[in-house]
Amino acid sequence: MMCAAVAGQRGLRVLLIEHSPKVGEKIRISGGGRCNFTNVHTRPENFISENPQFARSALARYTPSDFVALVRKHRIAFHEKHKGQLFCDGSSDQIIAMLRAECDAGNVQWWIPCAVRSVQHNGHQFNLQSDVGDLSARRVVIATGGMSIPKIGASDYGYRIARQFGLRIVEPRPALVPLVFDTAVWQPFSAMAGVSLEACVRAGAGRFDEDLLFTHRGLSGPAILQISSFWNPRQPIRIDLVPALAHADLSEQLITLKRSSRQAIANALITLLPHRLAEQWIAMSGIDAGGRIAAVPDSRLRDLAASLKDWQLTPSGTEGYRKAEVTRGGVATDELSQTTFEARRAPGLYFIGEVVDVTGWLGGYNFQWAWASGYAAGMAASNS
């Protein structure tokens, strides 16, 4: 919709084809129905790609301030919720209506619902066969997103078109997704579903200080969703359950408490961890949960502190595309122009948004990438 609106308002005849009965379903469900439509702190460093610099040009040419100006133009009230994340005060439907209004201003035509059966190029133009009818166009923009949340219409269609025209695909996989563990490994923690706490989670090059949530099958919450984009199969993740204290400080606090307290060790840990987690952690450590902290050797308290500061465990997988917020991977950036998003091997064919190998962090970054890449392609198509 962003690309169509930009191209249409600059004089091109634009047809927007959508295979689902409704447009903007990912917008509609975002942010609990209020749409986290951008992040004011957006930088290229907030994106994952084979080429981390690819996103720089588009993000510089269409910034969060530009999209906020559009939101203000349509008199949509919004607020900042957390770490630069902007949400509608009302409903995410307002963002969809805004984009449709911008398309209307560019006289964009719609075929919806309509499935495209084939896309061919005869050397001069693209010929499309669809449910509604056949058509020809000088330019075709693929903005089909990734495979996350198939129940709202997500599919691999964009990747199939890219492969048809000989473009390389970086292996797609679920991202911003909960992690799961083997049943036997997770059995001690399955009863803690619903327990949450702030933690520091690391994997690969990723590190995030956010809330972590225990589930029946594994871990979720913002910290886990963030790190899932950096996690690779068979790789452990590392969790600091007490990020507010350094390892030495935590050890010293436990030892100091030992010298001045007659309370049970489990009760001592409740000041640092949720009650259920504290009890389970003591049990896993082989310490009598009902025993007094004064009876625990200093060396055991140091080991306890170390385990809390560096909990290492290896997920068996993720909850998959059905619960993933985005898809990592996609059309390789070396196949596309960094400024126009046109395919180098197929002039006139563009790929934008999530279908490209550019994946943002949690918190509005992926929407900003959609707006920026759509704007860049719309400008480029109308200039060519």
pLDDT (tens digit per residue) in 188-213: 999 999 999 999 999 999 999 999 99
Give the other-Cβ count within 10 Å of 210's Cβ. Answer: 20
The alpha carbon dihedral of 96, 97, 102, 105 has a sign of positive
Neighbours of 12 (CB within 10 A): 19
Q: Which of 178, 308, 303, 315 is nearest to 243 (CA)?
A: 308
Under the banding of pLDDT at 50, 70 and 90, the label for residue 291 is confident
Q: What percent of the chain has pLDDT over 90?
A: 88
Cα angle for residues 366, 142, 63 (degrees, 5° grid): 35
Q: What is the full DSSP assignment across 11-60?
A: T---EEE-SSSSS-HHHHHGGGGT-EEEETT--GGGEE-SSTTTTHHHHH
Place 263 in a pLDDT band, splitting at 50, 70 and 90.
confident
Give dist(CA 321, CA 34) in Å, integer.
22
Number of continuous H segments (helices) and E segments (strands) in the chain: 13, 21
Q: What is the DSSP letter of 82?
A: S
Q: How far is CA 121 from CA 116, 127, 133, 249, in A?
A: 14, 6, 17, 66
Compute and round to an integer the Cα radius of gyration of the chain: 25
Report the interhelical angle of 275-284 vs 298-309 (nearest 10°).
Answer: 120
Residues 360/366/370/375 CA torsion (nearest 10 deg)? -70
Does the pLDDT of residue 260 top 90, yes or no? Answer: no
Q: Please state which of the ranges 6-15, 173-182, 248-257 shows the lowest mean pLDDT.
A: 248-257
Residues 6+ apart with CB under 8 A from 19: 113, 114, 115, 116, 153, 157
**CA end-to-end span of the chain:** 20
Cβ neighbours for 182, distance < 8 A, ≥ 6 positions apart: 316
**Residue 289 pLDDT > 80, yes or no?**
no
pLDDT band per the 50, 70, 90 thresholds, residue 339: very high
Alpha helix positions (H), 188-243: 222-228
CA distances (Å), 43 to each of 69, 84, 338, 378, in order? 18, 12, 16, 21
Mean pLDDT of the chain: 95
Confidence at residue 97, expressed as pLDDT on a 0 to 100 scale: 98
Res 176 pLDDT > 90 = yes
Q: Which pLDDT score is estimated for 258?
A: 87
pLDDT at 318 over 80: yes
